Amino acid sequence: MTTESQAQPARSTNSGPSVPSDRALAGWEIVSLGSSALIAEWILSAAAGRTRLVVAIPLAFAFVLVITSHVLRKESLRDLGFRFDNSLRAAKLLMLPMIVIAVLCIGLGLIFGTRPDLFRWHPGRPIAGQLALGFAWGFVQQYVLQSFVNRRAQIVWQKGVRSVVLTAFVFSFLHFPNPWLMLVTFIGGLVWAFVYQRAPNLFALAISHSLMTWVIVSTLPMSALNHLRIGFKYFA
């Protein structure tokens, strides 16, 4: 099912009790996903103490929602971006913004007096292993952000600038209250959402996510990024 075909009038016209339109439902899904992330970041991580497992509960609820929504909306894996046929196109689209952002990060880092250090991410871990972990974590984030948020944003506002900005805004807002991280995730969110709408390929986006995280951590001052902490942990 394509996202374009899902847009409908604000209210369905069936004779039964009024049912939210697809647009309203898609908006509700985005809000529900966001609420799960915020509950994990702001309430449970603060209250959980050492029993961090409790943080996984709302995240598990979110994944149940995401996967069930894919099934009910009859979205195939290929629709979602689990594909390789468009890898080259996705890579081409990603290349220029990644180079520009990397150069900007290096420049900003130098302005703030931080020399690039490619081994700063996790000094005790081999960089290849860290990139692999970054790829895995980036893949999960891109899957949720693009295959769910971006596709639902397209149901709300069609393919284009507004849905790209909404996706980037959601991605950025989930990194509240870290101001620098919110800025870089908003910019990254714009790029990735734009590329996904033209070449939906989660593997290319995950590689890009991992590489850009590496670049940002290696170039920008960690004091500004506050060690990538978000939510309640930002104040820890």
Among 58, 109, 188, 231, binds another protein (CB under 8 A): 58
Contact status, residue 114 vs residue 220, Cβ threshold 8 Å: yes
Question: If binding is defined by CB under 8 A, does position 54 make contact with another protein?
Answer: yes
Any idea what the Cα angle at residue 34 is, between residues 30 and 39, rounded to 5°?
150
Q: Which one, 37 or 204, has the nearer CB to another protein? A: 37
Contact status, residue 178 vs residue 103, Cβ threshold 8 Å: no
Question: If binding is defined by CB under 8 A, does position 80 make contact with another protein?
Answer: no
Question: If binding is defined by CB under 8 A, does position 6 make contact with another protein?
Answer: yes
Question: If binding is defined by CB under 8 A, does position 73 make contact with another protein?
Answer: yes
Q: Please, which residues have CB within 8 angstroms of residue 33's CB and are 6 or more apart in sequence?
A: 62, 65, 66, 144, 148, 149
Among 23, 37, 39, 199, binds another protein (CB under 8 A): 39
Question: If binding is defined by CB under 8 A, does position 156 make contact with another protein?
Answer: no
CA 46 to chain centre: 23
Query: Which residue is it, tokens 């900007």?
Result: 104
Question: If binding is defined by CB under 8 A, does position 61 make contact with another protein?
Answer: yes
Token reading at 144? 């949720």
Which is nearest to 209 in space by CA: 97, 78, 126?
97
Q: Whole-angstrom Cα distance, residue 30 to residue 150? A: 9
Residue range at the interface with another protein (CB under 8 A); choices 39-47, 102-110, 116-124, 227-235: 39-47
Question: If binding is defined by CB under 8 A, does position 28 make contact with another protein?
Answer: yes
Q: Which one, 68 or 223, has the nearer CB to another protein? A: 68
Reported in sequence order, the residue ranges of the chain that DSSP labels E, i.e. its strands, are none
Contact status, residue 3 vs residue 26, Cβ threshold 8 Å: no
Among 2, 64, 110, 221, binds another protein (CB under 8 A): 64
Residue range at the interface with another protein (CB under 8 A); choices 64-72, 81-89, 183-191, 222-230: 64-72
Residues making contact with another protein (CB under 8 A)? 1, 6, 12, 14, 16, 19-20, 22, 25, 28-29, 32, 35-36, 39, 43-44, 47-50, 54, 57-58, 61, 64-65, 68-69, 72-74
